[in-house]
Amino acid sequence: MRIIKVISIIIAITFASCDKVEPPYQSGFDCLSGNKKVLIEDYTGHTCVNCPGAAITAHEIQSNCEDRIIIVSVHAGFFAEPLPGSDFAYDFRTEAGEEWNNFFGIVSNPNGLVNRVNYDGNYVLAPGQWAEEANKVLGENSPVNINIFNVFNPSTNKLTTKVDGEFVGNTVGDYNLIVCLTENHIIKPQKNNDASIGVVGTILDYEHMHVLRKVLNGNWGEGFVTGSATPGQTITKTYEISFDGTDWLPENCNIVAFIYDVADKSVLQVNESPLVQ
């Protein structure tokens, strides 16, 4: 009899360990707390069948806090290799992307980084983890805001970009600035296995977004803060890049600039600005 009582209690506890979620299933981001923006780096490749799904995940996160979430799609690694003579002959890869891919230990796609935060020795997050980590970052305050001023001169085919770091809090340590050029609306083939996104197999007219095209100031950027910075201080860097010899369309391009801690690579602040307003 005692056994039956014990079993009944255990069964009751187990049934209680059961959360039935009723619609609507959607929750919400906290876009109002903090001032830190979020950098989602989506490490991807055109022959990676699960990558369109990850791109949708990143876009879905961004659509919740449009101004505060910035995406960079880094085509690197095995699935980004061009396959000459096939639909996948185009080379999306960049020198910086390949170096980051190796440094952060990305061995499969899709995977990504959220503000390059190191979680117990690991930077890499599966797409399903991006939203949760992005939401954490949104609640944080950054001691610096980034302003980007782009001037594209069609006659010289050159872009001049000025990046200001306006410090609103004390900052101690060494920080670098990385300035990237990204491009949207690139129509090229992509492998896919999600029927809700497009044809399963190869989507010939897939729209690639946020594609990393070039890092303007070296794969790991250049020094921005050495030792410390104080509120009221503004640090400015200016870069120039020519579009000659490239297939980049200025009207589809953006500059993404981020400041990161040299010691642990975590992003202190990020911002994005289109080349053509």
Partner 1 sequence: MKRITFIAFLLLSVFSVLSLKAQIGNVLDQSQVHGSFQVDGQYYQSDKALGITDSLLNGHRVGLNGFGNIIYTLGNLSAGLRYEAYLSPIAGFDPSLDGDGFPYMYVSFTDEKFSITAGSFYEQFGNGLVLRSYEEWTLGYDNALNGVRLIYQPIRGLILKGVYGSQRKFWDKYVKNGRGTVRGLDGEMNFNELFASMSDSKLRVVLGGSMVSKYQIDANPIYKLPENVASFAGRANIGLGKFNLSTEYAYKINDPSAINNYIYKDGEAFLASLSYSTKGLGLFAQVKRIDNFSYKSDRDVTVNALDISYLPPISETHAYALTSMYPYATQPNGEMGFQLLVNYKVPKKSKLGGKYGMGIAIEYSQINDIVRDQVDDTTFINQKGTLGYASDFFKFGDHVFWRDFNITIDKKFNRKWKAIIQYMYQTYDIATIEGHPGEPVVSSRIAVADITYKFTSRKSLRTEIQGLWTKEDMGDWAALLLEYTVSPHWFVSVTDQYNYGNPVKTDQVHYFSVAGGYTRETTRFQIAYGRQREGIVCIGGVCRQVPAASGLSLTVSTNF
Cα separations (Å) of 86 from 110, 188, 202, 276? 22, 12, 11, 33
Contacting partner 1 (CB under 8 A), which of 5, 19, 32, 232? 19
Contacting partner 1 (CB under 8 A), which of 34, 53, 82, 274? 53
1 binds partner 1, rule: CB under 8 A: no
How far apart are CB 73 and partner 1 at their closest, in Å?
19
Residue 267 one-letter amino acid = V
Binding map of partner 1 across residues 57-86, x = CB under 8 A, - = no contact: ---xx--x----------------------
10 binds partner 1, rule: CB under 8 A: yes
Provide the sign of the torsion angle of the four alpha carbons 245, 247, 249, 254, taken in this order: negative
Q: What is the dihedral of CA 43, 46, 49, 53, to 10 degrees?
A: 50
Contacting partner 1 (CB under 8 A), which of 109, 135, 176, 271? 135
Measured in degrees and rounded to the nearest 5, phi and psi for residue 184 equal -105, 170
How far apart are CB 27 and partner 1 at their closest, in Å?
5
Element (H, E) at 133: helix 127-138
127 neighbors 81 (Cβ within 8 angstroms):
no
User: Alpha helices of 47-94 — where are they, by DSSP H?
Assistant: 51-64
The site for partner 1 (CB under 8 A) is made up of 3, 7, 10-11, 14-15, 17-21, 23-30, 49-50, 53, 56, 60-61, 64, 107, 120, 126-129, 131-132, 134-136, 191-196, 200-202
